[in-house]
Amino acid sequence: MENFTSAALIGLCVGFLWGIGCSLAILYSIFLGGYRRAVKDSLLETKPQRYHDVLKKILAKKAKKARAPKV
């Protein structure tokens, strides 16, 4: 029974690490795809509408934070 327990524990650890590794690889590839697209959009001469919308939101957030009273 002891051999089964150690083998099961090793299998559980390897499976857990394999799953975490695959998840991180997928998240990293999604991140890189979005990053590349953002860089490509920022280099265009005429920016897409979404770029302007996001920029407007960011500037509004900064202005709101600047108006907030400092404690």
DSSP for 23-47, please give it: HHHHHHHHHHHHHHHHHHHHHSSSP
Q: What is the pTM of this model?
A: 0.47
- Model confidence over 59-71: pLDDT tens digits? 999 999 888 877 6
Interval 4-40: pLDDT, tens: 788 888 888 888 888 888 998 888 888 888 888 878 8
Question: Phi/psi of residue 46, each to 5°?
Answer: -105, 115
Alpha-carbon 28 to chain mean position: 7
Q: Which of 1-10, 41-50, 56-65 is predicted with the least confidence, judged by mean pLDDT?
A: 1-10
Structure tokens at 42: 């920022």
Neighbours of 51 (CB within 10 A): 14
> In the prediction, which pLDDT does 2 show?
63
SS3 45: coil
Contacts (Cβ under 8 Å, ≥6 apart) of 48: 41
